[in-house]
Amino acid sequence: MNLYDEDIIFFKELVNSGLLEIYSVHVKYHLSPFQIVRFIDTYQKLELIKYYQGSISLTDQGRSWLLANRNYILLKRHKFADPFTKKNVFENENKRIRFDKSIYRLLGQRN
């Protein structure tokens, strides 16, 4: 499983809003309905988001997961196509942050 363009867009938007209307994401970013459904299906299955009546929100687990992986997912310090490796460890506010390794499991890739 890969992390797609639309995943990054959604997570960035979700950080800023409690409840995100999927139609607004379509209008703002031209994401196709197929990209949107793929995002919802993938991350709902992983229990990281909830989808209800046209809107999505992060679950508590999703919020923790996103926080643990914020450098990787939100700060674009990666190439999307790169495999997940131990090299993806960055400095943040002088505090060394290690990735939550569950990302490997959640995304179906090996450490």
Partner 1 sequence: MIEENIERSKLIYSQHDFDKIIKLIHEKPWTFKYNKGISNLWNKCLNHDEKSLIEELIYRFNIFNSDDVENFLIEMASIITDMWELPVENTIISALADNSKPDSSHSVIQSLKGHLTKKYELYSDIVKASHDIKENGVIVIVDDFVGTATSISKKVAYVRNLMQKKGIRNYSIKFIAYLGMKTSSIALDVLNIDYKIIKIMKKGISDYCAPEVSQSKKNVMKRLESEFKINSKFSLGFLESEALFKIQSYNISNNVFPVFWINKTNDNQNFESIFKRG
Q: What are phi and psi of 55, to 5 degrees?
A: -130, 155
Q: Please, which of residues 20-79 interact with partner 1 by CB under 8 A?
A: 22-23, 26-27, 29-38, 41-42, 54
Nearer CB in complex with partner 1: 4/104: 4
Instruction: Name the nearest CA neighbour of 43 among 71, 81, 101, 1.
Output: 1
- Of residues 95 and 108, the one with the C-beta less far from partner 1: 108
Between helix 33-45 and helix 5-16 the angle, nearest 10°, is 70
Q: Enumerate binding residues for partner 1 (CB under 8 A).
A: 1-2, 4-6, 22-23, 26-27, 29-38, 41-42, 54
